[in-house]
Amino acid sequence: MSPKLRDVAEHAGVSVRTVSNVVNGFRYVAPATRERVQASIDSLGYLPNLAARTLRRGRTGLVALVIPEIDSPYFAELAARTVRIAGARGLTVLIDQTDGDAEREKQLLHGKRSQLVDGVLFSPWAVAPAELAARTDTVPLVLLGEHDGTAGVNHVAIDNVAAAREATGHLLASGRRRVAAVGIQPESLNATARQRLAGYRAALAGSGLPADPELEVPVPRLHRADGHRAMLRLLDLPQPPDAVFCFTDELALGALRAAADRGVAVPDSLALVGFDDIEDGRYSVPSLTTVAPDKDRIAELALDRLTRRAGAAEPPRSIVAPHRLVVRGTS
């Protein structure tokens, strides 16, 4: 026979109500009590009756995290933090991948894949601002990352313009004057690349330097191979750059490899700054200078908006999460 709630209570020496509070993620339980109850749950193999909880609370305890690429290091790290923080709140995270496909993103936006969850954390790449504004699904939604036309939607992101300006300014402060930008995506509906380009240009202007179209390199994707090709293109210029700001760490790692392939010394002849602070960048040679979004805080803020059911209770908000520049060996 499967253990019941009262069996866990007797095993842990607490009331049934206390066990229920732990199972349902109630925050105001003493840590020692929570630990004792959890040990009893694990020892007895107790499994909550999810169907009953759903009927009683009107919620499933499930949250969807929808991202473009599960194998992207940034999104993988963000997903891991979201799962951990959600678990501490008694929530289970279902992860889905859209590949940046417009049709899949539209289906999710209008509720065709969200019937079983209490809320959706969504990082779209391909839906237009008009689609976001015309959303019909009533399941609470929080957008992750920078997007245009999101005044009516809860939204958590860092200040990409300020972060890009800081990263480019760091390169300029070290005496570099031909600073390139790798990661422009003119065809993308995601505003992140546009905002990072704006920050890059603002830093140049602040140092009295004009933007040079030759040094602004578009890429089809944001992967290592794209950064490698972009860096080779820059190194083939009659006047190659002496520094590069890459819009993601993956691009920067590809650029670092291209520099090594061409025998260009980093950071002596070429300085590099990436964006995202993925783990790989800490172990590259040299280790990668990068903009570090606070991924834990992004996950916390996004989950806060969902669990408060802000879509129904409060006006939607755009929340700015913190970031910092981490200076390492490539600059």
b/e 238-270 (16+ beta carbons within 10 angstroms → b): eebbbbbbbbbbbbbbbbbbbbeeeeeebbeeb
Residue 181 CB neighbours (<10 A): 26
Tell me the angle at which helices 31-44 and 5-12 cross, rounded to the nearest 10 degrees. 120
DSSP state of 93: E
0.95 cut: is pTM over it? no
The residues with which 141 forms a beta bridge, in sequence order, are: 120
Task: Give residue-wise pLDDT tens across range 67-126.
Answer: 999 999 999 999 999 999 998 888 899 999 988 888 888 877 776 666 678 889 999 888
Task: Give residue-wise pLDDT tens across range 18-39.
Answer: 888 887 766 678 888 888 988 8
